[in-house]
Amino acid sequence: MPMIRFFRRSTALLLAMALCALSVVGNAGEAARQKNIFYVGTYTDHGSKGIYGYRFDSATGKSTSLGLAAESTAPSFLAIASSGRFLYAVNEISKFDRQPSGAVSAFAIQPKTGKLALLNQVASRGAGPAHIALDRSGKYALVSNYDSGNVAVFPVLQDGRLGDATAFVQHNGSSVNKERQEGPHAHAAVFSPDNRFVIVADLGLDQLLVYRFDAARGTLGSDPQIVRAVPGAGPRHPVFDAAG
C-alpha cells in the first residue's frame, strides 16, 4: 500500500450528523431526549458496502445501528445540506465512467427510515477525492481531489442533484517529503464564514491556498493568496472557530 494512501486512510472513518432526523420524546417527568441520525462513510475494499446509519440518543450517549443506508463505492467523506434533506459523498476512487477521476454522489435522506436514495453521481474532476464541503448558501459543493491535487465546485440543484462543475483549479508543485509530497494533494477545503473565500489545505505543497469565491456564479479566483506551512507539515483540514 502506498504511503500516501496509508496516511490519508488512518483517519478515514468519517461522521456526519443528519439534523433532519431530529425527534424529541419523553414526558413531563423527564428531560426531553433528542435522537439524531448520523452517517458513517467507509472504504469498501475490506468488506464494507457504503454508507451506514446510526441513531444517537443524546440523553444516554448511546448509538444504535440502522444498518446500511446506501450502497456506494468508497464514500470516504460526507456532507449534509443544512435543510437536512440531502447528503453528499465523495467516492474516493481513481476511475469513474472510464475517466481518470473519482466521483461525487448526491442522496435524498428518507426522514422516517434514515435510508439514502441516490439522486445522481458526477465525476469529481480528479482522482481520489478526499473531502467535500457545502458553501454557506447551500448552493455549491466544493470537492478536494487528493490524488490529482485539484479542487472543483459543483452547483447543487433545487432537487438536490449535482450539476456540471462551475469551477476547477489544478495545483502544481511538490515539497520536501518525496514519499507523500511528490506532487500536489488537495486534502480538504472550507468556505469562510462570510462565504467570500475558499481555503484549501494542500498536503503535497505544504500550503494553504486562499481563493476568492463568487457565490453568485460558483467560481474561484485565479490568483490565490498562499500561506506556507512548515516544510513537511502536510496541512490536511482547516477549521474556523465559532467566532469566524
Q: What pLDDT does residue 60 have? A: 92
Give the dihedral sign, CA 206/210/215/216: negative
Residue 119 CA to residue 52 CA, distance in Å, equals 17
Q: What pLDDT does residue 33 have? A: 54
CATH architecture of 3-23+34-172: 7 Propeller (2.130)
- pLDDT-derived band at 132, boundaries 50, 70, 90: very high
- CA nearest 236: which of 144, 115, 133, 113? 144
pLDDT digits (tens, 9 = 90+) for 43-64: 999 999 999 999 999 889 999 9
Whether 84 contacts 19, CB under 8 Å: yes
Residue 218 CA to residue 226 CA, distance in Å, equals 21
pLDDT digits (tens, 9 = 90+) for 179-233: 999 999 999 999 999 999 999 999 999 999 999 999 999 999 999 999 999 999 9
Residue 94: pLDDT above 80?
yes
Q: What percent of the chain has pLDDT over 70?
A: 86
Residue 1: pLDDT above 80?
no
